[in-house]
Amino acid sequence: MLKIKRKKVKPMGLNDVTIIDDSRLKKAITAAALGNAMEWFDFGVYGYVATVLGKVFFPNASPGIQIIAALATFSVPFIVRPIGGMFFGKLGDKYGRQQILAMTIILMTLSTFCIGLIPSYATIGIWAPILLLIAKMVQGFSVGGEYTGASIFVAEYSPDRKRGFMGSWLDFGSLVGFICGAGIVVILNAVLGQETFNEWGWRIPFFLALPLGLIGLYLRHALEETPAFQKHVESLEEGSKQGLSEGPSVPFKEVARKHWRNLISCIGIVITTNVAYYMLLTYVPSYLSHDLHYSENRGVMIIVVIMIAMLFVQPMMGLLSDKFGRRPFIIIGSLAMVLFSIPSFMLITHHSLVALFFGLLIQAIILNCLIGVMASTLPAMFPTEVRYSALASTYNISILVAGITPTLTAWLVEMTGNLYMPGWYLVVVGVIGVVTGVTMRETANKPLYGGTPAASSLEEAKELLQEHHDGIEQRIEDIDQQLEELKQKRSNLVDQHPNIDH
């Protein structure tokens, strides 16, 4: 009989459980969330000045085409994001998370700042939209490594039992950035007047990216590498460290073969969540002003109020997901998208401020269910050695679908004249989310894929270790049961053969 040599595995003890320092965790979350706020500050500003940008950079087009062109300039950089994701993902697995996050915030800051410097079409002609597109593509390249890197950074710093709550603060930063971007647009419109704002005032929000980015860079530069990545490096033998310096040792094809189920789940979550995100926070502002003829300030103010309410709900979703799991929120949010998207746009198009508010509120609650758990769910799907590269590549390829949402929706409404088209768009995407939520694996209250448990205190570490040992005992019992069943099946087969002895 063939004998298989079994490698001796050291039993897991209390020293193998990572105890997270609370002060470092808070710094990590603050630095990661600020960078994410910076990203969505630009998205917020861009979404709310899309009408103005259409006039500044595409003055010869009709108003409808101006909106589509401005939103297309927003969407085209998503083509570059997968390239940025693969580039920064490989570097993140090679050099660690902290250094890459410092690089991405520098690129984001400079590209956003440069948008404010670009002369109008009336001044330099066709070079104006070309330069705008270049700046947006640099943003897309940097953002390719930003969100995934930040979510991994927070996840690898978080205790297992609090990962949902801690991860929810990342998208809390997104909402804060969006609110600040929208709020600044409203204030500048009120102070400068629409004519002055259209002439040069729209540039001011983009200039503000520079000081915000410098603060974020300072905070990220002061951070230490994540405990999970440090433990991964320390666990490597000296000969393997050379392999680490050359990037992930596992080709992406091999990652796809081993983790295909998690890759599909990641794609479904990213598409569903970000389509809802871009629909509400990027497309709807121009939809309200261009298609429903609300004054820009009124539509913006309603959405800002709703987003402020979302801020209070966001951490609650993360906290509850630590108790009930991530899957229920993805399923509930996606199912609500299928059932309530058309009714919500019926309210939005009712030409009543009260109906508009409740229509947008429905979309906000749906979005909260999804973004409340995304940052804690995705990093837990892949092992440490390929986590950044696998997640960044998958995330940014998937987001190509979500990135065309504002442009495609605007085109569909323009071509069909159907104001409910955004709702139908969300219904289709919601089906993807429901299927994903039903088929995905639960990640709540478990160590990161292939990692050791992480706790917030010594007492919690002891509890996690006991749970880990209990889980092993249960799995051994399950295997023993399966062996007994196999032995019984073998015995039955042997009984049926005249020439085989027991």
pLDDT 10s digits, 91-118: 888 888 888 888 888 888 888 899 889 8
- In three-state secondary structure terms, 385 is helix
Is residue 448 domain-shared with residue 463, that is, in the same domain? Answer: no
Structure-token match 């950035």, residue found = 177
Q: Would 57 be classed as within a structural domain?
A: yes
pLDDT for 299 equals: 66
> Reduced to 3 states, what is the DSSP secondary structure of residue 291?
helix
| Cβ-proximal residues to 483 (8 Å cutoff; 6+ apart), any chain | none
Tell me what the mean pLDDT of segment 52-77 comes to: 73
Same domain (yes/no): 294, 423: yes
Examine the domain organization and report whether 264 and 344 are in the same domain. yes
Are residue 334 and residue 480 in the same domain, yes or no?
Answer: no
Could you tell me the two tokens for 394?
């998958």
Averaged pLDDT score across all residues of the chain: 83
pTM: 0.80
Q: Say whether both 295 and 221 belong to one domain.
A: yes
Same domain, 149 and 178: yes
| Percentage with pLDDT > 90 across the chain | 21
**Taking the C-alpha atoms of 53, 55, 60 and 65 in order, what is their torsion angle to the nearest 10 degrees?**
70
| Residues 412, 480 within the same domain | no
Output the six-digit token pair for 326: 């991530």
pLDDT at position 2 is 43
Question: What is the per-residue DSSP string for 311-325?
Answer: HHHHHHHHHHHHHH-
- CATH number for 393: 1.20.1250.20
Residue 12 lies in a domain: no
Which of 58-67, 229-238, 467-476 has maximum average pLDDT? 467-476
| 141 in the same domain as 34 | yes
| Model pLDDT for residues 404-451, shown as the tens digit of each residue | 888 889 889 989 989 999 999 999 999 999 999 999 999 888 888 877
- Side-chain half-sphere of 125: how many Cα atoms within 13 Å? 1
Q: Do 64 and 167 lie in a common domain?
A: yes
Residue 204: name the closest of 228, 220, 186 by CA. Answer: 186
Q: Is the pLDDT of residue 483 over 60?
A: yes
Q: Which domain holds residue 490?
A: 458-495
Are 96 and 212 part of one and the same domain?
Answer: yes
Per residue in 344-399, pLDDT (tens digit) is 999 999 888 889 889 999 999 999 999 999 999 999 998 888 888 888 888 888 88
Query: What residue has token string 């595995």?
Result: 9
Q: Per the structure block, which two tokens stand in for 356?
A: 């508009």
| Structure confidence at residue 4 (pLDDT) | 46
Per-residue pLDDT tens over the stretch 161-220? 899 999 999 888 888 888 888 788 888 888 988 889 888 898 998 898 888 888 888 878
Q: Are 189 and 49 in contact (CB under 8 A)?
A: no
Residues 265 and 306 in one domain: yes
Residue 501 lies in a domain: no
Please indicate, yes or no, if residue 239 is contained in any of the structural domains: no
- Tell me the per-residue pLDDT of 446-463, one tens digit each, with 9 for 90 and over: 888 877 788 887 887 788
Q: Using an 8 Å Cβ cutoff, are 37 and 143 in contact? A: no
| 407 falls within a domain | yes
Q: Which helix (H) or strand (E) holds 455?
A: strand 454-455
Q: How many domains does the chain have?
A: 2
Q: Is 8 among the domain residues? A: no
Residue 340, in any domain of the structure: yes
Distance CA 441, CA 374 (A): 13
Nearest Cα residue to 11 out of 465, 324, 490: 465
pLDDT confidence of residue 193: 87
Is residue 351 classed exposed, middle or buried when 0-12, 13-18 and 19+ CB atoms within 10 A define those classes?
A: exposed
Domain membership flag for residue 143: yes
Same domain, 160 and 262: yes
